[in-house]
Structure 1
Amino acid sequence: MIKFFRHIRKSLIEKNKMGKYFKYAIGEILLVVIGILIALQINNWNENKKIENEITQTISDLENDLTYNHKEAQRILKFYYQLDSLTKLGIYKKLKKEDYYENNFLDYITTNWDQLRPKTSNIIKLIDYEKDAKKEYKEVIEEAKLLRDQKVDLDSNWEHVTKVISDELEYMSQYLFTSAKDSINKEAKINFFLHNPEYEKRLYKSWSMNQVYYDNISRYMAVNLATLLKIKQANKDFDTSQMKQLLAHYNMKPFKKAACSESQITTQQYRKYRASHLIVNTTKDSMFLNLYFDKKATSQLILEPYQMARSYSYFVGVDGNQNVLYEQVDNSGNCIKKFRAIQNGYLIIE
């Protein structure tokens, strides 16, 4: 092909047809430029397709990570609920000598912790693709950013936990019974747990730290679940009924409906231990929710159209003795509906 074009140029020059030669030369240059542009376009298309495939794979991997994270968070929350129950028995002096003989877990109440280690590599990877992601993945990326930030809070809290554990281990190491396994030292250890004033203070300190870390895990779990739901919505036509089915799969239950006249939940079945709940607005309108604790509206949550959010949680104890009511109100502040928050619960506004 190159020899063919060269032959044409040589023939035009020999025949002294310079006008036609220049026209031909310009045409040849244009063909070369067009060829280069087409090659660049194909290369860009291939590169964009490659990135698109990488994003799709990252979304798929992230979905698996979020499923793992949720199950792991639920497992660890159960651990801390058990730890909380035993710690309070010690604080309220309801433990007896035989309890320590029957339950070895009681020997490590102040030093027995379980860290939530969620998978996060694909979250960071997806956020890095933000500029190249399709429009339908933009909301997923925004939710992933919230999850990333929640992980920072989780890690920061764990640093405080490790300091408390280190301090406790150093304190306990001064006693012989922490390493000896004989019956005499076992008896000395139990007497220490039951009657030592300093241990009572440390038990309460451990309990307080337990509350805070439990709260951070529950917050992370709520945002983690919201991110998973956003992926489901982005990948297919994911309606409200499918959302409820997925939440049920993860042992989540809807809030209980309540009358607008109700101001406080008094029945024991709703006095569950607290956690951050998942709140979803599936309408095209902004929604306003008042949160009630002990008959008083303490804050308001505003949900934009199709927004998901975790509810605000308050430091009221793992088996909190305060009850939460959510009140959906109109623009004038009038009650539309009320809902009773429950453990592992969610609220979908339709």
Structure 2
Amino acid sequence: MENKTSKYFKYAIGEIILVVIGILIALQINNWNEKRLNENKILSILKEIQNDLKEDILKSKELFAYYKERDSIIQLAINNKLTRENYLSDKKYYYINVAMNAFHLKIHSNGYQNFSNNLDNVPKKYQEVISTLNEIYTYNKYEIDKFDTRIDKITDRLIDNLGATKTWFYNVSQDKISNEAIHYFLNDSLYKNALHIYSNAAFNLTNHVSQFNQNAIKAYRTIAELTGNPKELPDFIPHHLIDVTPQQFKELSGNYTLVKLKFSTGDILELTEPYIMKVDEQRLEFSYIETNETFNLYFKNNTTLYADNLEAFILKDDNNRVIGLNVKFFNDEFEFIKTE
């Protein structure tokens, strides 16, 4: 009996151990499945964020072009370089409506909201992107929405004022431009004040959109690196289009001075503004030293760098040493000399 009882207890203990092991294995498998499902969910959300960023990056390019064109016209108007012929030409409404319309960029944030709602479940390997996304969807979005609303108020105020005080305003929309209307657009000081206010608000808006754009590109690249999606960066994300050698990076690194700015209007401004070019993780970081504002530049070919809305042509001397950069931003040109 003692022998049978001993065998029974050994058998029972063995059965219990097997059941416990089975339960632990089942729990582990369930845990793995939950982690896999959770990671797939986060990957899906990150892909949604990438799609949101793509739409907004492409839209920001349109916004830059829109306000750059208007700013060129406004600067001509403020500096008395427009003529009667401009307001009678086929493009007259470009000049007349220059401060009566706006371009809106409404940041898509559904992906980020889903990400925020699942922040506690984000695997550690994906948490690198959190700080950049927070900056985009809190600070950048707030500033863009603020100045977007301000520009709307400026255009509404100008239109309402013209409608309430100028008898010729309705006729302008009917393609009847009177001498009184032309005189107003060319000479009225309060109108030029309104243009200046519009230009200032547009400058602030595009500046914040530029910061958003750089952060959005950074976030898109980071998500792509962390998830492997997409395998190759799309064209709207600046990246090196050639294989860059360490020597090419070294040649461009150093201090620069912005010595000349030539506006699209033909006006030239002489300057002595300090910049610095650094290499960070196969990227060229070109920074304005006084404000630390930074632009990431990439090789388009062996002689040209590029980023959103700009191209930088590398200048070399007879000994093939880099001596400066000639940068084109829309229709403006910036001349930099390398000071080592």
Q: TM-score range by the shorter chain?
A: 0.5 to 0.7
**Matched residue, 1:207:** 199
CA distance in 1, matches of 2:278, 2:145: 24
Partner SS, residue 288 of structure 2: strand
Output aligned runs, 1:15-164, within 5 Å.
40-102=27-89, 103=91, 104-149=93-138, 150-164=140-154
* One of 161, 165, 189 as aligned partner of 1:171: 161
Determine which structure has the larger strand proportion and give its number.
Answer: 2
Identity %: 23
Output aligned runs, 1:227-242, within 5 Å.
227-236=219-228
Decide whether aligned partners of structure 1 residues 170 and 267 sit closer, same or farther in structure 2, where only a CA change above 3 A counts: closer
CA distance in 2, matches of 1:192, 1:108: 13
CA distance in 1, matches of 2:136, 2:26: 41
RMSD: 4.6
Read off the aligned partner of 2:73 and give its amino acid letter.
L
Decide whether aligned partners of structure 1 residues 51 and 177 sit closer, same or farther in structure 2, where only a CA change above 3 A counts: farther
Q: TM-score, normalised by structure 1?
A: 0.63
Decide whether aligned partners of structure 1 residues 25 and 160 sit closer, same or farther in structure 2, where only a CA change above 3 A counts: farther
Q: Give the unaligned 5+ runs of structure 2.
A: 242-247, 270-276, 297-321, 331-340
Read off the aligned partner of 1:59 and give its amino acid letter.
L
Decide whether aligned partners of structure 1 residues 183 and 84 sit closer, same or farther in structure 2, where only a CA change above 3 A counts: closer
Read off the aligned partner of 2:160 and give its amino acid letter.
E
Once the 2 structures are TM-superposed, how far is the Cα of residue 142 of structure 1 from its aligned partner?
Answer: 2.4
Alpha-carbon displacement from aligned partner over 1:145-204 (angstroms, at most 9, x marks no partner) = 221121122112222222222322321221333323456554433222122222121121
Decide whether aligned partners of structure 1 residues 264 and 106 sit closer, same or farther in structure 2, where only a CA change above 3 A counts: closer
Indicate if the aligned counterparts of 2:43 and 2:227 stay in contact, CA closer than 8 A. no
CA distance in 2, matches of 1:290, 1:42: 51
Q: Give the unaligned 5+ runs of structure 1.
A: 1-16, 273-277, 293-297, 302-308, 312-336, 346-350
Decide whether aligned partners of structure 1 residues 38 and 290 sit closer, same or farther in structure 2, where only a CA change above 3 A counts: closer
CA distance in 2, matches of 1:64, 1:223: 15
Count of aligned pairs? 282
CA distance in 1, matches of 2:184, 2:192: 10
Q: TM-score, normalised by structure 2?
A: 0.65
